[in-house]
Amino acid sequence: MTTRRDFHKRLACIVGTTAMSTRLVPAVSAGALPENSRRVVTIFLNGGNDGLNTIIPARDPLYAHYRNNLRIKPEEAIHLDDDTFLHPAMRGLSGCWDSGRLSIQQGVGYPNHSRSHFVSTAVWSEGNLDATLPSFNGWLARTLDPLQANSQSPLACAIDSPDTPELLRGRITRTVSMPQLPREESQTLARVLEQNQDFAADSAANQFVLQASRDAAASLRKSAASSSQFDGFPDTTFGHRMGQVASVIESLPEIKAVHAVHDGYDTHSGQRPRHSSLLRELADGLAAIDRFLSERGLSGSTLIMVFSEFGRRVQENASHGTDHGAAAPVLLIGGGSEPGLHGASPDLENLVDGDITVTSDFRELQAVASQWLVSNEKKMRRS
């Protein structure tokens, strides 16, 4: 049962997320809306995913040396090629791989990698190595700002988020929050937001808040009115969030960017069962949204990008966990991504301060994803 306090918290979060997504004073050149129906869905693995136990060099003897307790044996894992394997808990993605819709970019990170959650999240979110604090310069928002100038509707959506994710904070990009709510409660929140919208917006601040309320109400109405009850989404937190992504794609086709988070990846101790559970939930949720898109012919126009702020150290620790590291793989599903394995496999003979060497700059992936989003090119063009 939803209490009055919970209701007001959700109301504040929905409007607050929209209001926090942009600055009060816009200053950006307008750009024509692209003549395509493309969108990018970003999924952040919060805490630092252990990439070495996600995309696994299981036959490498050094992997067994460094991961005495945590290693996954080749016969347990899912075969990708002769030397590379997928964690066995991610079997849900086998169909996506076999169908040529899964792309894996190995060794992704940046020079002089920070092991701070806050700093590295800011760096990834802004696409800027000097980032240290949240700003209004998110990498996806920079792509959307010129488009937002010519759109009357918000172009970005944050799933079940109390504030606007940093990568969607821009100069004028408007982001709506899509809370995890029953349809009846979404309709009630929309009615409350629609009340008192005729008051005199006699200042920039009042106009700003009024627009945020209108955006939030319109998004809730459209989501609640979605005619489909989607089957096949797992009954997990992440599965529900992927169901919300599906609802946004169906009910808000104007949205160009959707962001969701999967929490829990800071596995300093007792990693093996926890990481397996997380990866199973992740893979099953991704498989569900991939099926949803495929059944509706939307795989080609929707790019899913899965990333974390950093990977983990190669050497397991004494608590049967791993500590903050550097490079990690990025998963890309659908869109213009080229299927298969890309980039160099982890070189465990030549570590940098105990970390896997970064061989792919994350900013290059962000750049090609942004270019694909606003262009009519069928494939993402990598340098």
| 3-class secondary-structure state, position 44 | strand
Find out whether 370 and 382 touch, Cβ atoms under 8 Å: no
> Model-level pTM?
0.84
Share of the chain above pLDDT 90, in %: 69
Query: Does residue 108 have a pLDDT over 60?
Result: yes
| 3-class secondary-structure state, position 179 | coil
Across 294-313, average pLDDT = 97
Note the pLDDT tens digit of each residue in 24-41. Answer: 444 444 445 555 689 999
pLDDT of residue 187: 57
pLDDT of residue 135: 76
Instruction: Find the length of the chain.
Output: 383
CA distance to 18, 42, 371, 376, per residue, from 148 (Å): 14, 19, 16, 18
Tell which wins on pLDDT, 82 or 208: 82
Of 18-27, 167-176, 263-272, the range with the highest mean pLDDT is 263-272
pLDDT of residue 206: 52
Pairing of strands 78-79, 85-86: antiparallel
The band of 14, judged by pLDDT with boundaries at 50, 70 and 90, is very low
CA gap 273, 197 in Å, rounded: 50
pLDDT of residue 102: 97
Across 152-178, average pLDDT = 91
pLDDT of residue 160: 86
Summary mean pLDDT of the chain? 85
Find out whether 212 and 18 touch, Cβ atoms under 8 Å: yes
**Paired tokens of 138:** 């998110």
**Paired tokens of 42:** 């970003």
Query: Does residue 300 have a pLDDT over 90?
Result: yes
Beta bridge partners of 3: none
